[in-house]
């Protein structure tokens, strides 16, 4: 949770005061099928402000989901509410601000017909354009459409802009990826087995209209949800049953990624991970010139990096926001303040701020240029910048040294190395940045105890407050007893009392260590690894090799008197696949004149 008193540069304040409501009588709820170009029927739920006169023309906020656009409730709750909208935004707020709100089930999901082989397919993206064509012919439409979402729906909103439809005026991807290979499926080339399996399991059950899945992963939802809401005209539920029958042909990412390793491995339809990405559709999105408000948290999977990559690589007018909450901002996640229980800003205030952005794009001059707002942990302040990295940025190297220390001085001796036998029971548990994608809290607590199993290097107390903003780069000169392996590195703050607070981490599979000098597919500020098959190479046991990779971006103030710590593991058992599959490697990290392992901190010096 950001500090509610952090008002300076606060993006939610800078988006403007909340205007008076345009409608105050609640909203109507209807549903229909929108038939798209190839005959697939897209289920749509439509919320309109009550009291809309025939002369009133209003813009539309569209959210396209794969998690059921609306839910049929169990009795007795169905006797109170006709249905429940699956996803934010809250229809009462949106309609009172003078927008119609439309939720759709993307093809192959919910009550929509069709099948899906991969998520975010070209056909799924094109459906957005057909839906807009339908919207702007409705009697209440003023011809303007905006789109927003969180996570999957955030990505559909962003890809939606690439349709280049003149009615699309702005999009707001929240907590979405930029590069699905590194941001979610294979961070650092390590397979996020936990999320990929759970997400596919959830998706498959949703597509088959089986609420039983909730009893296992979201029991509180199972208590009141019976299934997906059928379209109201589908009285005998025949169309819903037909849709579910078609969904049986769907494929799920876990099944076709769990035995893959490389970025260029083919998906079942012949595409590769990059084809699902935002960066591969950069040209289309840029040519739309649609303003983008992208927001996320430093702590959410690799999606914080996605915000920065999007900011650096897309030319669209952009507001980017990086805070300190969980995936979707449901809960606070600031590890420096574990006792905070309420997320700031409150959801209602956040949605109103988002609507201010849409108002600017629909009724005003839109937004000009690009700006990024980021929250500095421990300092508890919002900052803003027109460029990334922010002004005052420079790198500061800290070397691994004797007695498990981190120092500013380069090693002067010819010897110096530390051995570490990989402990495959090491885990960050199920409340980490990766499980957070399933809506779970983020709690990297008690790092002191966990670090006892890891290879740690700690600095002396800092002599002055120091801001670190960006991606820390870790460079290890290591040898291993095995041909495969992975490094999980945790960057931590240690206070005067010795309390250890997680700041960020990075993971990296060692076979991908080759740093390429060729142009990466998009601008990055960390060493470029292709993760392609042709660039992968097994380690040569006993041979020292350079392993250099970036940790997930952060912004933190290391206070005067605090120390920094880098803790190294070789596994995170409840989240990632084990590398290697068998055996227990010992790694040797060199820290000498010839092989000086180090971390490079992105420091911000105030001008």
Partner 1 sequence: MEEIIPSLKGMLKDATNIKSDATRFEITITVLTKIKGNVADPDEILVMLKMFGGLKEDVPMEININNDTQIIELKFQTEEDFKKIQKIMETIWDDAVDMLEQASQGDFSRIKNIPKIDD
Using CB under 8 A as the binding criterion, the count of chain residues that bind partner 1 stands at 21
CB of 152 to partner 1, least distance (A): 20
Contact 155, 70 (CB under 8 A): no
Q: Are 85 and 70 in contact (CB under 8 A)?
A: yes
The nearer residue to partner 1, 220 or 534, going by C-beta atoms, is 220
Contact stretch for partner 1 (CB under 8 A) within 207-215, 363-371, 417-425, 483-491: 207-215
How far apart CA 239 and CA 293 sit, in angstroms, is 36
User: Rounded to the nearest whole angstrom, what is the least distance from the CB of residue 69 to partner 1 in the complex?
Assistant: 16
Taking CB under 8 A as the binding criterion, the range among 99-107, 126-134, 215-223, 482-490 that sits at the site for partner 1 is 215-223
DSSP H/E element including 225: strand 225-228
- Interatomic CA distance for residues 239 and 33, integer angstroms: 10
Q: Which of 127, 234, 261, 300 is catalytic?
A: 300
- Nearer CB in complex with partner 1: 79/497: 79
Q: Which is nearer to partner 1, 203 or 602 (CB)?
A: 203
Choose between 76 and 542: whose C-beta lies nearer to partner 1: 76
Q: Which of 83, 100, 151, 459 is catalytic?
A: 151
Number of other residues whose CB lies within 10 A of the CB of residue 143: 14
Scan residues 36-95 and list those touching partner 1 (CB under 8 A): 74-80, 82, 84
Q: Map residues 458-497 to x or -, x wherever contact with partner 1 holds by CB under 8 A.
A: ----------------------------------------
Is residue 130 among the annotated active site residues? no
Pick the stretch among 224-232, 307-315, 545-553, 574-582 that binds partner 1 (CB under 8 A): 224-232
Going by the DSSP 8-state scheme, the letter that residue 332 receives in this structure is B
Distance in Å from the first CA to the final CA of the chain = 28
Helix (H) or strand (E) holding 525: none
The CA-atom distances, in angstroms, between 231 and each of 203, 250, 259, 589 are 20, 21, 38, 60
CB 58 within 8 Å of CB 142: yes
For position 342 contacting partner 1 by CB under 8 A, the verdict is no
- Cβ closest to partner 1, residue 211 vs residue 317: 211
**463 exposure class (CB count in 10 Å sphere: 0-12, 13-18, 19+):** exposed
Q: By CB under 8 A, tell whether 256 contacts partner 1.
A: no
Cα separation, 40 vs 104, whole angstroms: 13
| 161 vs 352, beta carbon nearer partner 1 | 352
The interface mask with partner 1, positions 162-201, x = CB under 8 A, is: ----------------------------------------
110: nearest Cα among 236, 227, 238, 237: 227
Sheet architecture: strand order including 225-228? 84-85, 70-73, 225-228
The distance of closest approach from Cβ of residue 545 to partner 1 in the complex, given in angstroms and rounded to an integer, is 44
13, 22, 126, 226: which one contacts partner 1 (CB under 8 A)? 226
User: Which of 5, 166, 210, 245 is in the footprint of partner 1 by CB under 8 A?
Assistant: 210
Nearer to partner 1, 235 or 412 (CB): 235
Are the C-beta atoms of residues 141 and 134 closer than 8 Å to each other? no
Between residues 80 and 464, which has the closer beta carbon with respect to partner 1? 80
Minimum CB distance to partner 1 smaller for 53 or for 341: 341
Phi-psi region of 312 (alpha: psi -120 to 50; beta: other; left: phi over 0): alpha
Least Cβ distance, residue 584 to partner 1 (angstroms): 35
Task: Out of 211, 323, 390, 602, name the contact with partner 1 by CB under 8 A.
Answer: 211
The residues pairing with 272 across neighbouring beta strands, listed in sequence order, are none
DSSP state of 185: I
Helix (H) or strand (E) holding 145: strand 141-150
> On the CB side of 69, how many CA atoms lie within 13 Å of its CA?
30
Give just the sign of the alpha carbon dihedral 192, 193, 195, 201: positive
What is the CA angle 69-71-72, rounded to 5?
145
> Catalytic pick from 327, 482, 512, 562?
327
Indicate whether 223 belongs to the interface with partner 1 (CB under 8 A): yes
For 414, list phi and psi in degrees, rounded to 5.
Answer: -85, -15
Please report, as residue ranges, which positions from 320 to 339 form the binding site for partner 1 (by CB under 8 A).
Answer: none
Q: Of these, 5, 25, 166, 215, which contacts partner 1 (CB under 8 A)?
A: 215
Measured from the CB of residue 71, what is the shortest distance to partner 1 in angstroms? 11
Helices marked H in 393-521: 447-451
Distance CA 175, CA 298 (A): 10
Closer of 81 and 363 to partner 1 (Cβ): 81
Chain positions 235 to 254 lying near partner 1, rule: CB under 8 A, are 235
State in angstroms the smallest separation of the CB of 230 from partner 1. Answer: 9
562 is catalytic: no
Structure tokens at 527: 């060493």
Query: DSSP 3-state assignment of 480?
Result: strand
Kindly state the smallest distance separating residue 61's Cβ from partner 1, in Å.
21
Nearest distance from C-beta of residue 343 to partner 1, angstroms? 12
Out of 20, 39, 53, 220, point to the residue binding partner 1 (CB under 8 A). 220
How many angstroms separate the CA atoms of 67 and 87, rounded? 8
In whole angstroms, what separates CA 499 from the centre of its chain?
28
Is residue 297 flagged as an active site residue? Answer: no
CB of 322 vs partner 1, minimal distance in Å? 26
Total number of residues shown for the chain: 607
Shortest CB 13 distance to partner 1, Å: 24
Find the binder of partner 1 among 25, 35, 164, 232 (CB under 8 A): 232
Q: Which residues have a catalytic role annotated?
A: 151, 300, 327
Sites of contact with partner 1 (CB under 8 A):
74-80, 82, 84, 210-212, 215, 219-220, 222-224, 226, 232, 235
């Amino acid at each position: 949770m950001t500090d509610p008193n952090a008002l300076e540069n606060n993006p939610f304040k800078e988006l403007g005061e909340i205007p008076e409501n345009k409608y105050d009588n609640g909203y109507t709820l209807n549903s229909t099928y929108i038939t798209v170009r190839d005959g697939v029927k897209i289920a749509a739920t439509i919320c309109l402000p009550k009291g809309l006169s025939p002369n009133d023309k209003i813009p539309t906020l569209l959210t396209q989901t794969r998690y059921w656009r609306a839910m049929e409730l169990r009795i007795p709750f169905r006797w109170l509410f006709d249905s429940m909208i699956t996803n934010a935004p809250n229809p009462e707020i949106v309609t009172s601000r003078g927008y119609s709100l439309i939720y759709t089930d993307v093809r192959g999901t919910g009550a929509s017909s069709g099948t899906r082989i991969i998520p975010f397919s070209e056909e799924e993206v094109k459906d957005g354009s057909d839906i807009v064509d339908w919207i702007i012919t409705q009697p209440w439409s003023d011809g303007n459409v905006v789109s927003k979402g969180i996570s999957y729906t955030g990505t559909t909103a962003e890809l939606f802009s690439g349709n280049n439809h003149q009615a699309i005026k702005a999009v707001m991807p929240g907590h979405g990826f930029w590069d699905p290979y590194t941001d979610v499926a294979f961070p650092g080339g390590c397979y996020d087995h936990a999320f990929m399996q759970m997400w596919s399991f959830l998706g498959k059950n949703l597509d088959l209209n089986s609420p039983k899945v909730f009893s296992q992963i979201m029991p509180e939802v199972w208590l009141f949800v019976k299934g997906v809401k059928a379209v109201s005209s589908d009285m005998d539920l025949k169309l819903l049953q037909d849709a579910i029958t078609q969904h049986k042909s769907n494929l799920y990412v876990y099944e076709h990624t769990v035995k893959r390793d490389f970025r260029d491995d083919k998906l079942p339809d012949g595409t590769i991970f990059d084809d699902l990405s935002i960066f591969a559709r950069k040209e289309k999105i840029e040519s739309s010139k649609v303003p983008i408000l992208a927001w996320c948290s430093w702590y959410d999977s690799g999606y914080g990096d996605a915000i920065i990559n999007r900011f650096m690589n897309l030319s669209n007018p952009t507001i980017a926001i990086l805070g300190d909450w969980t995936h979707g901002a449901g809960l606070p996640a600031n590890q420096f303040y574990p006792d905070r229980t309420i997320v700031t800003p409150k959801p209602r205030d956040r949605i109103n701020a988002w609507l201010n952005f849409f108002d600017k794009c629909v009724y005003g001059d839109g937004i000009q240029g690009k700006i990024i707002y980021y929250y500095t942990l421990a300092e508890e302040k919002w900052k803003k910048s027109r460029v990334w990295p922010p002004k005052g940025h420079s790198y500061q190297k800290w070397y691994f040294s004797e007695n498990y220390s981190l120092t500013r001085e380069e090693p002067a001796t010819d010897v110096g190395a530390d051995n570490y036998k990989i402990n495959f029971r090491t885990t960050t548990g199920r409340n980490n940045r990766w499980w957070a994608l399933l809506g779970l809290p983020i709690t990297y607590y008690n790092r002191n105890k966990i670090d006892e199993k890891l290879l740690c290097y700690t600095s002396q107390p800092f002599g002055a407050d120091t801001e670190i903003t960006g991606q820390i780069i870790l460079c290890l000169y290591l040898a291993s007893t095995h041909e495969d392996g992975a490094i999980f590195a945790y960057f931590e703050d240690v206070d005067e009392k010795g309390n250890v607070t997680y700041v960020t981490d990075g993971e990296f599979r060692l076979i991908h260590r080759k740093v390429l000098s060729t142009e990466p597919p998009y601008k990055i500020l960390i060493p470029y690894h292709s993760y392609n098959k042709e660039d992968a190479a097994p380690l040569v046991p006993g041979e020292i090799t350079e392993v250099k990779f970036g940790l997930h971006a952060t912004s933190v103030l290391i206070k005067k008197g605090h120390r920094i710590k880098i803790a190294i593991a070789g596994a995170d058992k409840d989240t990632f696949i084990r590398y290697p599959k068998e055996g227990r490697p010992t790694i040797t990290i060199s820290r000498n004149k010839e092989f000086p392992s180090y971390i490079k901190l992105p420091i911000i010096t105030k001008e």
